[in-house]
Amino acid sequence: MNLTKRCKIWWLMPLILGVVGIAIAGTTGKIAGRVTDAETGEPLPGANIEIEGTTMGAAADFDGYYVILNVPPGTYTLKASFLGYQPVRIENVKVNVDRTTETNFSLKSTAIVTEEIVVTAKEPIIKKDLTASVDIVKGEEVASLPVVSVSQVVTQQAGVIERGGLHIRGGRPDEVVYVVDGVEVRDPYTNYTFAGIPLISMEETAINKGGFDVDQGVVSSGAINIVTKEGGPKYETKVRFSTTDLSFLGEDLYSFFDENIGDPYLDFLTGKNTDLTSKKNRHRQKERRAEFNIGGPLFPGWRRGAKFFVSGEFASNRGRFPVSKDPKWKN
């Protein structure tokens, strides 16, 4: 029987008391830059920089430099303020895993209270701190791609194929490592690694194809660093369903869209279909996949406190070839 049914529940809960520090791939990035006077270029020590909608921020040092550490990947709005200066907001600041996003502020002095200045950040074409070959896929970009799993997202990148396993730049499948939220996921029997998470829960995936950092562990072909979503200040839920079962369109259209013919010789010997070239009335995989997620504050009245995120997946697949004549399996 080649019927696979998988139901995966991933519980992602923030830990309040602390986490154990081990040498694993990073799951956060950082924001750094400088705050200066727009007219003189002099630094503004003590200027406040905050990430709106979060509790993260920093103060500029004596030379005007600031650093905000442990920022989850995503797109943010930064605000810089200093006494006697007009506040400045920079929107669309993108943070990637294990990377530094440079964001500088130039504040104008003012003697009266005025409205803040809004600036839209642009992602640099060349990233100075990126010395490896890395492709980054955001969760919002996946919605426009014809994919239903993380492995299919990875194979959309140049130099990556999936044939009996994932191959990056000609390497073997056991030379590729999947890291999910900083934890390496590996099958101890085959030594292969896999993502094993619902695509709907993916926040960002970084495909590293060379020049690996020391925190990537044992890897010689490619490293795939996946960061899952986190709960936000509001309760949110999402459900998605996908299938290759198009039998409701009729056999003519179904055979046009799904060219899998199963085992035509077995069909010929059993008399099911004596035309070896026909694609009608053949065995189909009929893959069905349902995904969901839900997240938000752990306590309804404490929206700035601990948050939770839960994601799950159910998938069924009849297999590429019929292997059972038992009618209850409909194979």
The domain tally of the chain equals 1
Question: Could you give the CA distance from residue 201 to residue 312 in angstroms, rounded to a whole number?
Answer: 8
Does 59 reside within a domain? yes
Residue 251 Cα distances to 195, 257, 279, angstroms: 35, 10, 9
Query: Pick from 283, 286, 292: which is nearest to 313 by CA?
Result: 292
Does 212 reside within a domain? no
Query: Looking at residue 52, which CATH number applies to its domain?
Result: 2.60.40.1120
Does 81 reside within a domain? yes
| Bridge partner list, 109 | 85
Kind of pairing between the strands at 105-107 and 29-37: parallel
Does 85 reside within a domain? yes
pTM exceeds cut of 0.75 = no
Those residues of the chain that have pLDDT short of 50 are 1-24, 329, 331
Does 225 reside within a domain? no
pLDDT in tens, 210-231: 766 655 656 677 888 888 888 8
Does 72 reside within a domain? yes
Residue 265 Cα distances to 3, 131, 257, 261, 276, angstroms: 21, 53, 22, 10, 7
- 217 conformational bin, left if phi > 0, alpha if psi -120 to 50, beta if neither: left
Does 41 reside within a domain? yes
Residue identified by tokens 């959309």 is 156
Is residue 310 within 8 Å of 11, Cβ to Cβ? yes
pLDDT in tens, 274-291: 777 777 777 677 788 899
What is the pLDDT at residue 45?
Answer: 93
What is the pLDDT at residue 21?
Answer: 34
Q: Is the dihedral of CA 195, 198, 200, 202 positive or negative?
A: negative
Question: Could you give the CA distance from residue 122 to residue 17 in angstroms, rounded to a whole number?
Answer: 37
What is the pLDDT at residue 128?
Answer: 63
What is the pLDDT at residue 5?
Answer: 38
Q: DSSP labels for 85-143?
A: B--EEEEEEEE-TT-EEE--EEEPB-SS--PPEEEE----SS-TT--S-EEEEEHHHHT
Q: Is 129 exposed, middle or buried (0-12, 13-18, 19+ CB in 10 A)?
A: exposed
Domain that holds residue 65: 29-120
pLDDT in tens, 40-87: 999 999 999 999 988 899 999 999 999 999 898 888 999 999 988 989
